[in-house]
Amino acid sequence: MGAELEERAILGVVRRVLEEVGMEVYTNLLVDGVELDLVALDRQGSRTVVYVVEVKSRPKRKLLEQVLSRVGMSDYVYVALPARYYPFLLEVPPPVGSLAVELDSQIVYEIRKASYLGNGRRLLEKLRSRPLQR
Protein backbone atom coordinates (compact mmCIF):
# COMPACT_ATOMS: atom_id res chain seq x y z
CA MET A 1 0.00 0.00 0.00
CA GLY A 2 1.40 3.41 -0.95
CA ALA A 3 1.87 6.18 1.61
CA GLU A 4 -1.04 8.27 0.34
CA LEU A 5 -3.41 5.30 0.29
CA GLU A 6 -2.33 4.27 3.76
CA GLU A 7 -2.90 7.80 5.09
CA ARG A 8 -6.41 7.81 3.61
CA ALA A 9 -7.10 4.41 5.19
CA ILE A 10 -5.84 5.61 8.60
CA LEU A 11 -7.93 8.77 8.27
CA GLY A 12 -11.00 6.66 7.48
CA VAL A 13 -10.55 4.43 10.53
CA VAL A 14 -10.00 7.36 12.92
CA ARG A 15 -12.97 9.20 11.42
CA ARG A 16 -15.28 6.20 11.83
CA VAL A 17 -14.26 5.66 15.46
CA LEU A 18 -14.82 9.32 16.35
CA GLU A 19 -18.18 9.43 14.57
CA GLU A 20 -19.25 6.28 16.42
CA VAL A 21 -18.77 8.08 19.74
CA GLY A 22 -20.94 10.97 18.52
CA MET A 23 -18.44 13.55 17.24
CA GLU A 24 -18.85 15.65 14.10
CA VAL A 25 -15.81 14.92 11.95
CA TYR A 26 -14.35 16.95 9.09
CA THR A 27 -11.31 16.05 7.04
CA ASN A 28 -8.76 17.98 5.02
CA LEU A 29 -9.74 21.47 6.16
CA LEU A 30 -7.65 24.43 5.05
CA VAL A 31 -7.59 27.10 7.76
CA ASP A 32 -5.33 30.15 7.44
CA GLY A 33 -3.10 28.29 5.00
CA VAL A 34 -2.76 25.25 7.29
CA GLU A 35 -4.22 21.92 6.21
CA LEU A 36 -5.81 20.04 9.09
CA ASP A 37 -6.11 16.34 8.34
CA LEU A 38 -8.99 15.77 10.74
CA VAL A 39 -11.04 18.02 12.99
CA ALA A 40 -13.54 16.45 15.39
CA LEU A 41 -16.10 18.51 17.29
CA ASP A 42 -17.57 17.13 20.49
CA ARG A 43 -20.79 19.08 21.07
CA GLN A 44 -22.14 16.86 23.84
CA GLY A 45 -21.50 19.29 26.69
CA SER A 46 -22.23 22.97 27.18
CA ARG A 47 -19.07 23.86 25.25
CA THR A 48 -17.84 22.40 21.97
CA VAL A 49 -14.51 20.63 22.41
CA VAL A 50 -12.18 20.64 19.38
CA TYR A 51 -9.82 17.78 18.52
CA VAL A 52 -7.24 18.02 15.72
CA VAL A 53 -5.57 14.85 14.44
CA GLU A 54 -2.55 14.84 12.12
CA VAL A 55 -2.43 11.59 10.14
CA LYS A 56 0.71 10.10 8.61
CA SER A 57 1.68 6.72 7.15
CA ARG A 58 5.09 6.93 8.85
CA PRO A 59 6.89 9.27 11.24
CA LYS A 60 8.47 12.11 9.32
CA ARG A 61 10.97 14.67 10.41
CA LYS A 62 8.44 17.48 10.21
CA LEU A 63 5.63 15.58 11.94
CA LEU A 64 6.20 16.87 15.48
CA GLU A 65 6.67 20.38 14.12
CA GLN A 66 3.34 20.07 12.30
CA VAL A 67 1.37 18.81 15.28
CA LEU A 68 2.87 21.37 17.63
CA SER A 69 1.75 24.12 15.23
CA ARG A 70 -1.85 22.92 15.78
CA VAL A 71 -1.67 23.47 19.55
CA GLY A 72 -2.80 27.11 19.26
CA MET A 73 -6.07 26.20 17.55
CA SER A 74 -7.34 23.13 19.36
CA ASP A 75 -8.41 21.77 22.71
CA TYR A 76 -6.65 18.46 22.04
CA VAL A 77 -4.05 17.55 19.40
CA TYR A 78 -3.15 14.02 18.34
CA VAL A 79 -0.87 12.33 15.85
CA ALA A 80 -2.16 9.10 14.27
CA LEU A 81 0.22 6.53 12.78
CA PRO A 82 0.10 2.84 11.92
CA ALA A 83 0.51 0.68 15.02
CA ARG A 84 3.88 -0.61 13.76
CA TYR A 85 5.31 2.77 14.84
CA TYR A 86 4.37 2.17 18.48
CA PRO A 87 7.88 3.08 19.80
CA PHE A 88 7.67 6.49 18.09
CA LEU A 89 4.14 7.03 19.43
CA LEU A 90 5.42 6.50 22.98
CA GLU A 91 7.89 9.36 22.47
CA VAL A 92 5.41 11.99 21.24
CA PRO A 93 5.93 14.93 23.60
CA PRO A 94 3.13 16.52 25.62
CA PRO A 95 0.81 18.27 25.11
CA VAL A 96 0.29 16.18 21.96
CA GLY A 97 -1.31 12.75 22.25
CA SER A 98 -0.75 9.75 20.02
CA LEU A 99 -2.99 7.18 18.34
CA ALA A 100 -1.92 3.81 16.93
CA VAL A 101 -4.12 2.55 14.10
CA GLU A 102 -4.45 -1.13 13.18
CA LEU A 103 -5.74 -1.10 9.63
CA ASP A 104 -6.40 -4.84 9.43
CA SER A 105 -8.66 -4.88 12.48
CA GLN A 106 -9.87 -1.26 12.10
CA ILE A 107 -8.95 -0.46 15.71
CA VAL A 108 -7.56 2.80 17.12
CA TYR A 109 -5.50 2.71 20.32
CA GLU A 110 -4.82 5.83 22.37
CA ILE A 111 -1.13 5.42 23.24
CA ARG A 112 -0.60 8.78 24.91
CA LYS A 113 -3.45 11.02 26.05
CA ALA A 114 -3.28 14.61 24.87
CA SER A 115 -3.29 17.42 27.40
CA TYR A 116 -6.21 19.85 27.45
CA LEU A 117 -5.15 23.10 25.78
CA GLY A 118 -8.31 25.23 25.78
CA ASN A 119 -7.64 26.79 22.36
CA GLY A 120 -10.48 25.22 20.39
CA ARG A 121 -12.57 28.39 20.39
CA ARG A 122 -9.99 29.99 18.06
CA LEU A 123 -10.59 27.37 15.40
CA LEU A 124 -14.36 27.47 15.94
CA GLU A 125 -14.38 31.24 15.36
CA LYS A 126 -12.52 30.79 12.08
CA LEU A 127 -14.83 27.99 10.97
CA ARG A 128 -18.04 29.91 11.76
CA SER A 129 -17.41 32.23 8.84
CA ARG A 130 -17.64 29.45 6.24
CA PRO A 131 -19.71 26.34 5.62
CA LEU A 132 -18.15 23.03 6.57
CA GLN A 133 -18.38 19.91 4.45
CA ARG A 134 -17.80 16.45 5.87
Vertex 97: Cα angle to 92 and 103 (nearest 5): 95
d(CA 99, CA 83) in angstroms, rounded, equals: 8
- Domain with 55, as residue range(s), is 3-128
d(CA 71, CA 116) in angstroms, rounded, equals: 10
Query: What pLDDT is recorded for position 90?
Result: 94
- What is the per-residue pLDDT across 9-43, written as a single tens digit (0 to 9) for each? 999 999 999 999 999 999 999 988 889 999 999 99
How does DSSP assign 17-69, residue by residue? HHHHTT-EEEEEEEETTEEEEEEEEE-SSSS-EEEEEEE-SS--TTHHHHHHH
Domain count, the chain: 1
With respect to residue 134, please indicate whether it lies within any of the assigned structural domains: no
The one-letter code for the residue type at 31 is V
With respect to residue 42, please indicate whether it lies within any of the assigned structural domains: yes
- What is the per-residue pLDDT across 98-133, written as a single tens digit (0 to 9) for each? 999 999 999 999 999 999 999 999 999 988 876 565
With respect to residue 133, please indicate whether it lies within any of the assigned structural domains: no
With respect to residue 104, please indicate whether it lies within any of the assigned structural domains: yes
